[in-house]
Amino acid sequence: MKKFLASPFLFCSFFLISLLTACNASPAPSPTPLAASPTAAPTETPLPLPTPTPFVSSLPWWNQTVWYEVFVRSFADSTTGPLACDGDGDLQGLIENLDYLNDGDPTTHDDLGVTGIWLMPIMASPTYHGYDITDYYTVNPNYGTNEDFQRLIEEAHKRGIKVIIDLVLNHTSNQHPWFRESTKPNSEYRDWYVWSEGKNPGYAGPLGVAWHPFLDDYYYGVFWSGMPDLNYTNPEVTTEIQNVIRFWLEEMGADGYRLDAIKYLVEEGEKQESTESTHAWLRDFYTYYKSVNPDAFTVGEVWSASVAVVKYLGDQLDSAFQFDLANSMLDAANLGKRIQVDGQMTQTLRMYPPNSYATFLTNHDQARVLSVLGTEGEARTAAMMLLTHPGIPFIYYGEEIGMSGTGPDENKRTPMQWSAEDFAGFSTCFPWQPANDDYKTINVAAQDADPNSLLNLYRNLIALRNEHPALMVGDYVKVETDTQPIYTFIRQVPGETILVVINLSREAVSDYAITLESSSLIGEVQAIDLLNGTEIAAPVLNEAGGFTAYKPLEEIPARMGLIIHLVP
């Protein structure tokens, strides 16, 4: 949201297709071996990676999807069509670069491998960011047409990519025809917004000033005067928004929605956040969109502590972003200690319904990962946590190459850095916003050729998550270690156990030991580091399937991660 303020699980169909292909063709090449840092490359000859375990369960498709957040205006200016070289990214530019995200071929490993895209607002809007909508039924002309969106859906689905769009329910633009009509006291649209006749109610909103003057009256807008809140106590507003929901799911082909700022939907006087009326409205919303498409997916922005977020799950949303966990991963990467993330994972698993929360590092409203953490090393350990943790992972565009950005929101949404060419390869014309100054060295083309780049780390992590159900949807089992820089846990499904070990520190660690009380493993096991494709020292299991004082490497290099497949 643009802020104006001074365990069994479903094994993905994508993987099942790759298994069937493997039965009738020569074995697909393994991902390029990649160390977690340039100093951590193993000296052993890479081994063939273990065949992922066939696994089927009843979870919905979004639990086995890796998502990528796209700000269309900043992703790619089209090279063909009526919007080519206008300095704005557009839907055609996104279509032209879909193969970068996923080329649809499971035997290739030069795409990122994501299987879902979240598009920031694409509806008509007077502002660069699009969170103040003027027409819910029309694609922003700067991005293309409704037909371009339908073509994007078709091309994305060919590649196994689902597409969800930002749905801004809380407010519209003050330039929306509905609001313009509502400013007339006797208009049929007057009650579509929240008006106070002749006086300022006098109380502040949760974000500051919320009542804004218009002639002798005041209207409510929690974010600012340019974004008046819709009045969901009026059934006519709900009916119209239901028409919008049906339109994008049925006629336009979207696979679901990211729901913006939903904790502010319905006010109850001076109580304006996460009210019972908001929860009640969302229960009806959930019933409605599932009646339109039972497979549609919603993920909500409830930017609050977990104790408030969990109240939205189950009968109102399919998923919600876990802000507390995101902060703990950044803290762990920054401080080089596991205590923050270890404790937050324990709390998350206790508080949230299974398979219900979405994970991320930062998003379009926050300073970018590299700007928060400072160095690529910390960004690497953060990526390893994000893509080996349970949850539904979301990656903000450019995060995979280490783009930076802080301060005003425009600085966090700069053009994608594709190459060292003029304008970062984003366009052949001057873009709507200048690219970051470091684009000549920080770009896709430069990292594509470097097997130890951040981009290739993301590619390999996503490939492993897609190929191994334990990483995608497996249970999380805490593993004990006696040193703070070493963060370790197990992900498992029946038939597959993977031990994750991450050295969060800026220094190599040799004085450590890993202990597991018990597991379903029995007998002797082989240990394969999936990230590097090498065999390493295996734990000696006790009668309970656990181990004591295990050291997969005598010394774990700084910021190195091991993803260890324990093979019986």
Residues identified as active-site: 260, 301
Bridge partners, 256 (sequence order): 297
What SS3 class is residue 239?
A: helix
**Tokens in use for 319?**
């998923």
Whose tokens are 């734990």? That residue is 539
Do 327 and 303 form a contact (C-beta atoms < 8 A)? no
Tell me the β-bridge partners of 382.
none
DSSP H helical segments within 407-504, as ranges? Answer: 444-448, 454-467, 469-473
Helix (H) or strand (E) holding 475: strand 475-478
Q: Are 426 and 435 in contact (CB under 8 A)?
A: yes
Q: Is-contact 376 384, C-beta < 8 A?
A: no
d(CA 553, CA 467): 25
How much is the CA Rg of the chain, to the nearest whole Å? 24
Helix (H, G, I), strand (E, B) or coil at 199: coil
Residue indicated by tokens 């039924």: 137
Who's near 275: CB < 8 A, 6+ residues apart?
266, 267, 268
Q: Residue 531 burial by CB count (10 A; 0-12/13-18/19+): exposed, middle or buried?
A: buried
